């Protein structure tokens, strides 16, 4: 692909893609409707003490019923693209075998509404809601999972591939495998070294198999994987914390993209994962893709923890670092550097598939949500992205996380990332000041 041409719209390439992102479990609700099967997150939400306030995704934003309102909100924003995920247990209630027509038909309606509004659907196959029935068979610790995923990808490709061309295999490989199989911070809530290593390798195999299926079934498909990458900084300048940071860096930033794009595991993981790697696996994993999906929030501070499975733990950022209202450190310069490093390392066009700012937003006395903190965050990060473009980073698009306030995993509904406020008592939607700001930015960037 050739580099996009610049125009006079503040320096943004004319075909730069501006979008918003969501995910199935975080917004859809209708957990028990129209034949949807349970996912590992339904299970986790029912375990006492796992999720803040005992929240669940049972209703979430009720997007399943209000998707037309949500498409209208996106049209108002002026976005060119919408990244959403398919709920695997909605279309295959047991994860494999008989498909659920009502579930498949929901995504038909959503995709058709998006296309009618002039918004391109970007379909991600997996944003963490594994069917519970597959977890009962071992989930990602079973080598069979690659085949289950390939069959599910084929179903999606056959059904939607006439209208959807942008496909992502997985969202944040490292996050859901590390949190779900090593740290018990997410579903399915396992904390076991070997389970984690198997999950890493099998998810990589599933990615490779999924890419092949999508490529063979969807004419003109444009395929990527979505990786969460951020700088890992040792909390203290000690050999222990430095070693912890180096290993977390391998897990967080390299175990998946290096395997998928360079056909190798980073050194410390390579040694540990060897027993699970069979002849020919690295070639199965490393399949040609069209773009690199980057989710980026801020750096992680790492410290040594002898009691942890891998000997690393999350440390604290220095006290004087700017933070979001939910405590995440804010370093836009590291976002710029990440975009430049990525371009050099993997040589793929980059789409920023998530970037955004969490808060505790509340309507003021006039009912308005004036989220200046989010506008400042987005302004700084979009500015950093523009600097990266100036330095030669091959960035082709940017998606804000998220369109709506939604179910933020272990934080439940208490952390809000939306451009649009959701009242979780009524499900009423109110665009925040940041929504108007983003709409204006997009309009300005498109001036020819
Ligand atoms: C990312 C997840 C997304 C959301 C944001 C805040 O790690 O992909 O679902 O939770 O963080």
Burial per residue of 212-238, b for 16 or more beta-carbon CB atoms within 10 angstroms, e otherwise: bbbbeebeebbbbbbbbbbbbbbbeee
Give the model's pLDDT for residue 256: 99
Give the model's pLDDT for residue 446: 84
d(CA 290, CA 122): 13
Query: What is the whole-number distance in angstroms between the Cα of residue 8 and the centre of ligand 1?
Result: 33
- State which residues of the chain have pLDDT below 50: 1-8
Sheet strands (E) in 300-375: 300-304, 312-314, 350-354
CA-nearest of 265, 139, 116 to 195 is 139
| Cβ count near 46 (within 10 Å) | 13
- CB of 129 closer than 6 angstroms to any ligand 1 atom: no
**Packing angle, helices 63-77 and 433-446, rounded to 10:** 50
The answer to whether 429 and 69 are in contact (CB under 8 A) is yes
- CB of 167 closer than 6 angstroms to any ligand 1 atom: no
Q: The tokens of 234 are what?
A: 């040792």
- CB of 171 closer than 6 angstroms to any ligand 1 atom: yes
d(CA 378, CA 376): 6
Helix (H) or strand (E) holding 170: strand 166-171
Cis peptide before 188 (omega within 30 of 0): yes
Query: What is the whole-number distance in angstroms between the Cα of residue 358 and the centre of ligand 1?
Result: 10
d(CA 290, CA 205): 18
Q: Is 354 a catalytic residue?
A: yes
Query: What is the whole-number distance in angstroms between the Cα of residue 275 and the centre of ligand 1?
Result: 31
Express each pLDDT in 240-292 by its tens digit.
999 999 999 999 999 999 999 999 999 999 999 999 999 999 999 999 999 99
- CB of 295 closer than 6 angstroms to any ligand 1 atom: yes
CA 165 vs. chain centroid, Å, equals 18
d(CA 415, CA 368): 18
Give the model's pLDDT for residue 17: 98
Q: Are strands 17-21 and 429-431 parallel, antiparallel or unpaired?
A: unpaired
| Cβ count near 120 (within 10 Å) | 17
d(CA 107, CA 104): 6
Distances (CA, A) of 194 to 181, 225, 269: 9, 24, 12
Give the model's pLDDT for residue 9: 62
Q: Which of 173, 187, 295, 404 to mutate to test the pocket of ligand 1 (most atoms within 8 A of CB)?
A: 295
Of 172, 235, 250, 408, the catalytic one is 172
**Exposed, middle or buried: residue 425 (CB in 10 Å: 0-12, 13-18, 19+)?**
exposed
- Give, as one character, the DSSP assignment of residue 367: S
Distances (CA, A) of 421 to 201, 317, 337, 357, 361: 38, 29, 31, 13, 8
Give the model's pLDDT for residue 400: 99
Sign of the CA dihedral running 72, 439, 118, 358: negative
Stated length of the chain: 448
Query: What is the whole-number distance in angstroms between the Cα of residue 408 and the centre of ligand 1?
Result: 7
Give the model's pLDDT for residue 448: 57
**H-type helices in 182-287, by residue range?**
193-217, 239-249, 257, 267-273, 281-285
Q: Is 101 a catalytic residue?
A: no
d(CA 445, CA 395): 15
| Cβ count near 327 (within 10 Å) | 10
**Packing angle, helices 101-116 and 145-160, rounded to 10:** 50
| Cβ count near 47 (within 10 Å) | 10
């Amino acid at each position: 692909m050739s580099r996009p041409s610049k125009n006079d719209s503040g320096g943004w390439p004319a075909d730069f893609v501006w979008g918003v992102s969501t995910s199935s479990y975080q917004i859809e609700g209708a957990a028990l409707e129209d034949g949807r099967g349970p996912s590992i997150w339904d299970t986790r939400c029912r375990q006492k003490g796992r999720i803040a306030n005992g929240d669940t995704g049972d209703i979430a934003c009720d997007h399943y019923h209000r998707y037309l309102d949500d498409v209208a909100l996106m049209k108002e924003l002026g976005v060119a693209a919408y990244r959403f995920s398919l709920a695997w247990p909605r279309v295959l209630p047991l994860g494999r075998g008989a498909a659920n027509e009502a579930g498949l038909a929901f995504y038909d309606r959503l995709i058709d509404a998006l296309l009618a509004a002039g918004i391109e659907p970007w379909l991600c196959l997996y944003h963490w809601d594994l069917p519970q029935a597959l977890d009962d068979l071992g989930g990602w610790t079973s080598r069979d999972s690659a085949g289950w995923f390939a069959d599910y990808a084929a179903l999606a490709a056959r059904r939607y591939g006439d209208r959807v061309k942008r496909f992502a295999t997985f969202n944040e490989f490292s996050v859901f495998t590390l949190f779900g199989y090593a740290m018990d911070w997410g579903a399915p809530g396992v904390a076991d070294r070997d389970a984690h290593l198997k999950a890493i390798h099998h998810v990589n195999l599933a990615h490779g198999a999924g890419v092949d299926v999508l490529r063979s079934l969807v004419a003109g498909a444009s395929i990527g994987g979505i990786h969460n990458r951020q700088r890992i900084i040792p909390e203290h300048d000690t050999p222990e914390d430095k070693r912890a940071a180096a290993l977390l860096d391998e897990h967080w930033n390299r175990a998946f993209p290096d395997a998928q794009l360079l056909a190798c595991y980073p050194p410390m993981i390579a040694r540990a994962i060897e027993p699970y790697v069979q002849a020919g696996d690295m070639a199965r994993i490393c399949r040609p893709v069209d773009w690199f999906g980057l989710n980026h929030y801020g750096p992680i501070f790492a410290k040594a923890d002898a009691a942890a499975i891998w000997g690393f733990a999350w440390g604290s950022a220095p006290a004087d670092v700017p933070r979001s209202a939910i405590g995440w450190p804010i370093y836009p310069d590291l976002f710029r550097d990440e975009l430049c490093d990525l371009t050099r390392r993997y040589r793929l066009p980059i789409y920023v598939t998530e970037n955004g700012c969490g808060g505790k937003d509340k309507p003021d006395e006039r009912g308005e949500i004036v989220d200046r903190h989010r506008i400042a965050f987005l302004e700084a990060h979009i500015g950093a992205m523009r600097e990266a473009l100036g330095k030669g980073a091959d960035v082709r698009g940017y998606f804000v996380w998220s369109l709506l306030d939604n179910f933020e995993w272990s934080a439940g509904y208490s952390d809000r990332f939306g451009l649009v406020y959701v009242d979780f008592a009524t499900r009423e939607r109110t665009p925040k000041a940041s929504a108007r700001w983003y709409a204006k930015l997009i309009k300005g960037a498109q001036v020819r």
